[in-house]
Structure 1
């Protein structure tokens, strides 16, 4: 019983490398026997290494091609998804080194692009006709303001469900927009 309590105490203090348990049996009036035991301290396992291929670094031409095609999609008023961008890149460059959509998505994240959900703000991509009408409207409004006319506003804002998105790609650095 004395031996087990001594072992329990020694296991609690991990700083001791060696200990000498003494029991009632081992004690005598003139002589104390000592037993030395080594305590083994467990060694922590190294962290798990993520499987798969190591991240590839591509040339600056590949990065510029991704940014350029991203910008081309925006000028065409097309929402740049990974699938559309992947198809566009392989159509423009048949020997493009990124061969999967997942790799393209990961590489876009490495370039600083993030796919964010915008709170509740809807972002319309407008056609050329709407931009032309807006230019005419602002020109007329400028003429009316310069003549001092009274202007009354009536809000009739509306949008079609197919002309808006709630999640789009952003570049954190501002490149490729």
Structure 2
């Protein structure tokens, strides 16, 4: 969904506010497989996904581990770089041809401070994202591999159809072989 239309599903922007936000976020197109940022980056960008999918990932002992998936109508940015002035341990990879709206964090902060309703909107978006991370942490701590996979099929079935199985397995904290066994039982 287009950025300002998505924002208007959560809050009501004036025509002027829509225009300011629309002009501030630049539209960018990326091909499947593009690395937007390597792990240990200091990216100062905020991305909104209008179309496509991105994964965040890190490297551990030479293995590529999927941390999270972001698809349409999601924001992604480096919390470590933008808020804590540290390197971001996560890279970002485009998993399918993707249309992003991108803004530099300083400009994003300006919008945040100058458009009052944008603060409320971003607070709602942050809480929704925090809930998804909380659900993932719960599943990794308290669910079996089968339960994690079932939860993913129940809540994020669109991801299963769009992402390579190796990325799904590492996101779930299991091997690709274990994922194949679980899928075969269904």
Shorter-chain TM range is under 0.3
Q: Which has the higher helix share?
A: 2
The normalised TM-score by structure 2 is 0.20
Q: Which has the higher strand share?
A: 2
The normalised TM-score by structure 1 is 0.21
Q: Relative CO higher for 1 or 2, CA cutoff 8 Å, sep ≥ 6?
A: 2
The structure with the larger Rg is 1
